[in-house]
Structure 1
Amino acid sequence: MRVLHTSDWHLGRILYKEPRAQDHDTVLQEIIAIARTDKPDLIVHSGDLFDHARPSYPDQERALLVLQELETVAPVVVLRGNHDSAYLFRLFATAAGPHSRIHYIDSPRDPKNGGVLRFPGPDDTVLRLAVLPFVHANRHLDMLADPDRWQSAYTERIGAMERELADELFRDFDPHREIAMFAAHLHLNGSNLARSERKAHIADYYATDTAHIPEVSYAAFGHIHKPQPLPGKVTGCYAGSPIQLDFGELGETKSVVLVDAEPGRPAQITLRELSGGRQLRRFHGTLDELRSQATLIGRDLCHITIRTDAPDLTLSEQVRTIIPDATVLEVITDCPGQKLPILSPDPETAGTEPSMPALFDDYLSAHGSKTVTADAVSRVFADIWSCLEEERPFLMPEEHTLTQPLSANPSLPTEENL
């Protein structure tokens, strides 16, 4: 059986106030064309369909139209990623109806009740697919406990889920006619980060153990944006994002993964390269050096730093004249003796306004905390903010914290000890 694996579309992404819709339109049409040409028996999207839990109506329409096109080729499984809304996925599933070939996996499922899906293939073969969407850490660990315990607590919980899925995946498994696969949206220890992932969800305590992955023919992973084989012994890939989402992905070649699997044989993996829409480019040099590279830049999305001997108020206009077809995201002056205000001083992570957790971290950096570690306070705040954005309830680790005043719970951050 043949499986097409894609991931991390992040529809609705904005970079330096520049919407990436036209880049997504380009690459999504490529993915549809690859599906029609290579004719997979199953299509797996391993999470982060959207960039925000509340995507715009045009982005929702864009996603649904592409998934419906893919559905005409083969059944489609879409996992909820850490950027996606479980409520929206359930709405999509309800609207699609029980007979749709698009399967929206909005939350972890009981292995015996939707956690393992089965898809018939040619010659009486059957593909069994265990599914595990993103799992938020606040449901499974005490965010105010010793930070050294966070990673082990989360890893142990995810490992238990994976073992339960594996038990059902291989229950009465016939290796002569069945194929086992696993799809998940997780951060694996040892993976190579792109630095464009959501910082709060690639913290050390979110890194899970590769040893817990079921021993399947292929493991389709999402969450990390840099395309790469999975660390560890299990055959699998992070499909990565289909476009360069941020400057942490500068120069990357994007792709989707084609997996050819037969019962009792190792899966064969083939990458189908994508154009990725407009490429990202960072330039640092003089105007003359920019002119010499203008033909190479073309329609790229550019972060430009120009070295000058004296201040020049027309610098931005000159840059845009030299590279008229490019999208200039920002122009910065590198002039000796003068420092201009830079709204985004770090091009590696810039491109959007600072998040509320980032601003709160700035506050903690300046003021600190007295009786609770600043790291613990930061994690709790980031988790609360994530719950607000994704319309999820914030679950406190201990029931008594909901009934006792803050003064009776010295482990909790209060106005006095922040």
Structure 2
Amino acid sequence: MRILHTSDWHIGRTFHGHPTLDALTSVLDALVEQVRTARVDLVIVAGDVFDSAAPSAACYPVLSRTLGALVDAGARVIVTSGNHDSAARLGFQSGLLRPEITVLTDPAAVGTPVTVSDEHGPVHVYGIPYLEPAIVRHLWQGVELRSQAQTMTHALDLVRADLAARGGRSVVAAHCFAAGVEATPGVEREIRQGGLDVVPLSAFDGPDYVALGHIHGRQQLSERVRYAGAPLHYSFGEGDKPRGSWLIDLDASGLRSVEWMPLPVPRPLVTLRGPLDDLLADERFDGHGEHWVRAEYTDPTPQPDPMRRLQERFPWCATVVHLPAGTRADDAEGYARRVRAARDDAEVIDAFLSHVREGEGASDAERSLIREVLDAHRVSEAHA
């Protein structure tokens, strides 16, 4: 059996205020073509189908059109819900969908598989929706479920118990944060406290393949436990991570091979760093006019209207950050010492400017203005 593992579509997500529906649609169209060309039997979408528990009306046609196209390309489709999805909203229409499409959002059904057969016999697919311990613990009385690790381990124990009775090959689709992954800062919206929601790799023992969602970059935790990542880049922190999905082949004895299937990147991401004048004019940045741009300008002091000026050269400049070059010579303790050592208010102000400007104090013109203002203030106080 040939299976395509994808996840984290995040339909409806914006990128620095820009909509992504059109870009995502084009990438999902490419995924459908991969399914057709590779003769995929089953597509697994491992959670975070939508970016919000209450997606806009424009998001639903993207999902329904893509699911239908995957079936038309010759595949069965199994979808689970993630932490961004509303399980109720995603699952309510499951009974109305084409028989080749199954949406698994009910935690109570975790130990009951969807069985798909090929020439070697049955393959049992266990969908595990995102499990919030406080919400699902009432389903399993007498079991301590205070963390993601406990909850996912219990869910997989149910899978293993059912599989022991059924026999045959098996695949699990789940949405969680597994131990050993490297999360991209600012991307995965983690809700970890003291590591309690990190699921140990041993929890996934048993199935022939575990298709995970939640992490936006592809990751391989073992030969049989993997994250596919998101089909689009949703953060500049992801810019160097490839987009795609995993193509899994099962033979009569279980997992035979896994291959990475790259997806197109509609608009590459790039981070450009340098003085603002260089970013605006240097020819080494000429090739980024059609890229999403994060600009980090290194001038000692903030510059006026940098976003507008940069967008004249880079229309898709999405964010601008002021990161002065060099290392701050004056840390908090050094700044405090300079303030204590200051002989007058003018030196206090000069110490502050040097601190916030990475060592560059007041200019001669600024010192003159500072003295003038302070003198005027003293005169005003004397006549009060």
Q: TM-score range by the shorter chain?
A: 0.7 to 0.9
Q: Taking structure 1 as reference, are residues 71 and 316 closer, same or farther at Cα in structure 2, changes over 3 Å only?
A: same
Under a length normalisation based on structure 1, what TM-score does the superposition of the two structures give? 0.70
| Contact 2:8/2:216, CA 8 A, preserved across alignment | yes
Match of 1:197 among 185, 188, 192: 188
RMSD in angstroms over aligned alpha carbons? 2.7
> Deviation string for 1:292-320 (max 9, x for gaps)?
23333132211212344776535433322
Q: CA separation in 2, counterparts of 1:333 and 1:205?
A: 36
1:91 matched to 2:76: no
Corresponding residue pairs, total: 320
Q: CA separation in 2, counterparts of 1:186 and 1:289?
A: 40
After TM superposition, list the pairs within 5 Å mapping 1:279-294 onto structure 2: 279-286=268-275, 287-289=277-279, 291-294=282-285
1:229 matched to 2:229: no
Find the counterpart in structure 2 of residue 255 from structure 1. 244
Q: CA separation in 2, counterparts of 1:45 and 1:6?
A: 5
| Contact 2:137/2:145, CA 8 A, preserved across alignment | no
> Deviation string for 1:87-121 (max 9, x for gaps)?
1122221332xx52111111224356xx2110122
Match of 1:211 among 194, 199, 202: 202
Give the counterpart letter for 2:252 in structure 1: P
Q: Secondary structure at the match of 1:251?
A: coil
Q: Which has the larger radius of gyration?
A: 2
Find the counterpart in structure 2 of residue 323 from structure 1. 314
What is the CA distance between 1:53 and its match in structure 2? 0.5
What is the CA distance between 1:190 and its match in structure 2? 1.5
> Deviation string for 1:22-50 (max 9, x for gaps)?
32122111111111111111110000001
After TM superposition, list the pairs within 5 Å mapping 1:104-143 onto structure 2: 104-110=103-109, 115-121=112-118, 123-139=119-135
Q: CA separation in 2, counterparts of 1:259 and 1:202?
A: 34
Q: Secondary structure at the match of 1:261?
A: strand
Task: Give aligned-pair identity as a percent.
Answer: 23
Q: Secondary structure at the match of 2:94?
A: helix
Q: Taking structure 1 as reference, are residues 312 and 60 closer, same or farther at Cα in structure 2, changes over 3 Å only?
A: same
Q: CA separation in 1, counterparts of 2:14 and 2:110?
A: 37
Moved over 6 A (4+): none
Question: Which protein has greater RCO, CA pairs closer than 8 Å, 6+ apart?
Answer: 1
> Deviation string for 1:233-286 (max 9, x for gaps)?
x61210111111112313111111100111214330000111232222222212
Q: Taking structure 1 as reference, are residues 191 and 313 closer, same or farther at Cα in structure 2, changes over 3 Å only?
A: closer
Match of 2:159 among 139, 155, 165: 165
Under a length normalisation based on structure 2, what TM-score does the superposition of the two structures give? 0.76
Any stretches of 5+ residues in structure 2 without a counterpart?
A: 139-143, 326-352, 358-384
> Deviation string for 1:342-369 (max 9, x for gaps)?
xxxxxxxxxxxxxxxxxxxxxxxxxxxx
Q: CA separation in 2, counterparts of 1:218 and 1:314?
A: 52
Q: Secondary structure at the match of 2:320?
A: strand
Give the counterpart letter for 1:48 in structure 2: D
Q: Taking structure 1 as reference, are residues 214 and 163 closer, same or farther at Cα in structure 2, changes over 3 Å only?
A: same
After TM superposition, list the pairs within 5 Å mapping 1:44-63 onto structure 2: 44-63=44-63
Any stretches of 5+ residues in structure 1 without a counterpart?
A: 143-149, 341-418
Q: Secondary structure at the match of 2:271?
A: strand
